[in-house]
């Protein structure tokens, strides 16, 4: 039996798992035939867990035990502005661990977000094993293009906790482009507009046969389908307030029920001009029923949510600018993610890009299919002509020099760094070592000197982010060089080398040029908690 590599789209709201069998990409269903599996874990009182579609219905019934959107927490420090913003909206408890990472508390158990991801992945793995009748140990997992180093590391860790060897992390839009173009010998520029449940990404790629070169990527990890749901929840709450003078905003149960309903109504509005719903709630802390007749037209929905869609278009503009492209230079628009089913999103993207989106691609499944296609290319089976292996000539284009071709004509993915990477130096700034949007794999070095005479210890706090101000960036970890032979400041030269591999994972080397003493840190080491660490600023280096 040949070894299969599954492709997994581990989404904020939903996940999809696919595999290439005899040259054809197949989406793996659950026993009930569902091809899309909510990324939801329900913790039963007896300690057992329920995952996927079965877990979904517990969201309204047992909100405090039903964990969703863990992807919004993964790889982030607890005190990040994003988590602070989310805290009020989760009905389950999220508390900080000692290393300042978030933990989801269910009874007395604390679960890291990657532990939730691992349960979802383990469930998908078992679905695949049942479906295929063989063990599944290898996967390609997708991540949002603008996931930073820590988020990627945590996602990889989730895969490993689930018993999967993560062959590669592929950016979601790149995977979508693969599903769209692999084997079709296309030569064109495409925009992948990916609007999911919790994140928005846009990626501009150039396809040249089986080469998928990312020209730029931009995203907003806090823009997604949830924002539309929240608008609807606010409208419903206003209606209760107006008609019954009852404020439901602080009632977790109410809020959760209304959120579930809001999402349902939002989806209904994608194929109905008007929706009407009788909603019954309770006066908080009592069993007294209150009721509204909620009605909303698509037109009003569009007016109330236009700014959400426009925010995504601003991000598209940013991606165009980074790539140095005009809208007219893009030949195709591919819509990905559940939120692209919203008519307003389709209309506004059509207007913005001035072209019809590519039809016939299922926006929910395309990312997972791309990951499976890539996974298959990593095995001998995938290189069979059925999945479109082309006689690709790596010497065709000079820009590919130095890049590793994966042999046999599989797809060649050329991704970019979504954020700049650097180190904090004296003065509290991030000195950038790797620029944003650099093609991967990538290695860059910079020289620094000690900041005071006879400094025998230096620390290099490593940051990712697009700002020069360290407080606006995320600390990924820290490396330390000790026992440096004393010397006058500025004479001691430290070479710092950053290397980012094709998964977007960072390795760092710092070398004292006089002694050759060096420190090598692979931030991708699994299970290694490289988080926010404090340091003495007098140990920093200077440029």
d(CA 516, CA 543): 19
To 10 degrees, the CA torsion angle through 19, 23, 25, 31?
Answer: -60
List 101's β-bridge partners, or say none.
none
Query: Is 12 among the residues that bind ligand AMP (CB under 6 A)?
Result: yes
Question: Given 194, 209, 227, 539, which residue is catalytic?
Answer: 194
Token pair, residue 432, equals 């950038």
> In this structure, what are the phi and psi dihedrals at residue 450, rounded to the nearest 5 degrees?
-65, 155
Helix (H), strand (E) at residue 382: none
Sole binder of ligand AMP in the list 91, 196, 219, 422 (CB under 6 A) = 196
Which window, 7-15, 93-101, 280-288, 453-461, contacts ligand AMP (CB under 6 A)?
Answer: 7-15
Helices (H), 245-297: 252-269
| Closer CB to ligand AMP, 338 or 461, in the complex | 338
Annotated catalytic residue 227: no
Query: Is 21 among the residues that bind ligand AMP (CB under 6 A)?
Result: no
Q: Looking at residues 305 to 364 of the shown chain, list those that interact with ligand AMP (rule: CB under 6 A).
A: 337-339, 341-342, 364
Comparing every residue's Cβ against ligand AMP, the nearest one is 225
Task: Compute the least distance from the CB of residue 348 to ligand AMP, in Å.
Answer: 14
| Closer CB to ligand AMP, 360 or 516, in the complex | 360
DSSP state of 365: T
d(CA 282, CA 305): 28
| Closer CB to ligand AMP, 13 or 315, in the complex | 13
Query: Is 239 among the residues that bind ligand AMP (CB under 6 A)?
Result: no
Which window, 110-118, 262-270, 435-443, 481-489, contacts ligand AMP (CB under 6 A)?
Answer: 262-270
Question: Given 30, 71, 156, 227, which residue is catalytic?
Answer: 71
**Residues that contact ligand AMP, how many (by CB under 6 A):** 18
Question: Given 148, 149, 172, 227, which residue is catalytic?
Answer: 172
Annotated catalytic residue 380: no
227-to-106, 262, 263, 307 alpha-carbon distances in Å: 26, 11, 10, 11
Cα-to-chain-centroid distance, residue 456:
40
Q: Please, are residues 413 and 502 in contact by the beta-carbon 8 Å criterion?
A: yes
Contacts of 306 (CB under 8 A, 6+ apart): 344, 348
Annotated catalytic residue 172: yes
Residue 21 CB-half CA count within 13 A: 11
Query: Is 436 among the residues that bind ligand AMP (CB under 6 A)?
Result: no
Q: Please, are residues 225 and 338 in contact by the beta-carbon 8 Å criterion?
A: yes
Annotated catalytic residue 9: yes
Query: Is 11 among the residues that bind ligand AMP (CB under 6 A)?
Result: yes
Query: Is 263 among the residues that bind ligand AMP (CB under 6 A)?
Result: yes
Task: Compute the least distance from the CB of residue 321 to ligand AMP, in Å.
Answer: 26
d(CA 254, CA 144): 31
Describe the crossing of helices 343-353 and 298-323 by its angle, rounded to 10 degrees.
40
| Closer CB to ligand AMP, 224 or 382, in the complex | 224
Query: Is 197 among the residues that bind ligand AMP (CB under 6 A)?
Result: yes
Token pair, residue 524, equals 């991708």
| Closer CB to ligand AMP, 10 or 211, in the complex | 10
Q: Looking at residues 209 to 238 of the shown chain, list those that interact with ligand AMP (rule: CB under 6 A).
A: 225-226
Query: Is 504 among the residues that bind ligand AMP (CB under 6 A)?
Result: no
Q: Please, are residues 42 and 120 in contact by the beta-carbon 8 Å criterion?
A: no
For ligand AMP, the binding residues (CB under 6 A) are 11-14, 196-197, 225-226, 263, 266-267, 270, 337-339, 341-342, 364
Q: Which active-site residues does the annotation give?
A: 9, 71, 172, 194
């Amino acid at each position: 039996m040949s070894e299969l590599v599954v492709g997994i789209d581990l989404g904020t709201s939903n996940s999809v798992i696919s595999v290439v069998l005899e040259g054809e990409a197949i989406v793996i269903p659950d026993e009930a035939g569902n091809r899309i599996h909510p990324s939801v874990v329900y913790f039963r009182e007896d300690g057992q867990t329920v995952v996927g579609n079965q877990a979904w219905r517990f969201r309204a019934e047992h909100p405090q035990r039903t964990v969703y959107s863990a992807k919004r927490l993964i790889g982030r420090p607890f005190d990040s502005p994003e988590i602070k913003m989310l805290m009020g909206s989760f009905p389950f408890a999220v508390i900080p661990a000692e290393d300042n990472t978030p933990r989801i508390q269910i009874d007395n158990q604390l679960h890291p977000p990657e532990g939730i991801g691992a349960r979802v992945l383990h469930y998908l793995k078992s679905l695949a094993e049942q479906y295929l009748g063989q063990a599944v140990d290898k996967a390609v997992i997708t991540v949002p293009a603008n996931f930073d180093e820590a988020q990627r590391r945590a996602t990889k860790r989730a895969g490993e906790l689930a018993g999967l060897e993560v062959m590669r992390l592929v950016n979601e839009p790149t995977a979508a482009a693969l599903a769209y173009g692999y084997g079709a010998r296309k030569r064109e520029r495409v925009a992948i507009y990916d609007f999911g449940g919790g994140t928005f990404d846009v990626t501009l790629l150039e396809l040249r046969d089986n080469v998928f070169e990312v020209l730029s990527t931009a995203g907003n990890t806090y823009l997604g389908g949830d924002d539309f749901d929240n608008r609807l929840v606010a409208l419903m709450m206003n209606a209760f307030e107006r008609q019954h003078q009852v404020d439901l905003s602080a009632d977790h149960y109410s809020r959760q029920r209304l959120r579930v309903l809001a999402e349902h109504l939002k989806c209904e509005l994608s194929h109905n001009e008007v929706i009407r719903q009788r909603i019954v709630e309770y006066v908080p802390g009592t069993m007294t029923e209150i009721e509204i007749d909620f009605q909303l037209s698509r037109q009003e929905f569009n007016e109330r949510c236009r700014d959400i869609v426009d925010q995504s278009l601003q991000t598209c503009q940013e991606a165009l600018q980074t790539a140095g492209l005009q809208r007219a230079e893009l030949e195709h628009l591919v819509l990905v993610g559940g939120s692209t089913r919203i008519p307003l999103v389709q209309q506004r993207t059509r207007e913005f890009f001035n072209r019809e989106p590519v039809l016939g691609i299922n926006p929910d499944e395309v990312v997972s299919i791309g990951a499976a296609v890539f996974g298959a290319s990593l095995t001998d089976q995938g290189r069979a002509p059925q999945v479109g292996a082309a006689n690709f000539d790596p010497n065709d284009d000079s820009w590919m020099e130095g890049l590793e071709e994966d042999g046999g004509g599989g797809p060649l993915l050329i991704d970019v760094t979504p954020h700049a990477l650097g180190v904090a130096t004296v003065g509290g700034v991030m000195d950038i070592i790797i620029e944003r949007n650099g093609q991967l794999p990538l290695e860059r070095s910079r020289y620094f000197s000690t900041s005071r005479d006879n400094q025998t210890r230096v620390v290099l706090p490593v940051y990712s982010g697009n700002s020069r101000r360290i407080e606006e960036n995320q600390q990924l970890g820290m490396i330390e060089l000790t026992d440096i032979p004393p010397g006058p400041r500025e004479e001691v030269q430290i070479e710092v080398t950053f290397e980012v591999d094709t998964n977007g994972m960072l390795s760092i080397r710092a070398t004292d040029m006089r002694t050759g003493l060096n420190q090598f840190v692979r931030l991708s080491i699994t299970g290694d908690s490289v988080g926010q660490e404090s340091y003495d600023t007098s140990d920093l280096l200077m440029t």
